[in-house]
Amino acid sequence: MSSNTITLIFCLGGITFLFNWLLILNWYFKNNSLQIANKIQFARIFLACLFISIFGVLTTGVIFVSALMFSHG
């Protein structure tokens, strides 16, 4: 399996996670009408979402590549 294929699959896994994460965040903020009072609270929410996204992208990418390697040997 070529390196380009593995990289593409890894990126697709990450994009899939980010798309789902953005849909969930959009739904949450729309339905809960959360008010962000100051810049500190916004920074905390942003950093929490960023760390969850980083972990999710890496995990989902690894799962996609593992599934590819398992199915194609």
The overall pTM is greater than 0.75: no
Please tell me the predicted confidence (pLDDT) of residue 65: 82
Dig out the tokens for 48 from the structure. 């929490």
Which residues span the domain enclosing 55?
38-73
Per-residue pLDDT tens digits for 22-44 = 888 778 777 776 676 777 877 88
25 within a domain of the structure (yes/no): no
Distance CA 67, CA 65 (A): 5
Backbone angles phi, psi at 37, to 5 degrees: -80, -40
14 within a domain of the structure (yes/no): no
42 within a domain of the structure (yes/no): yes
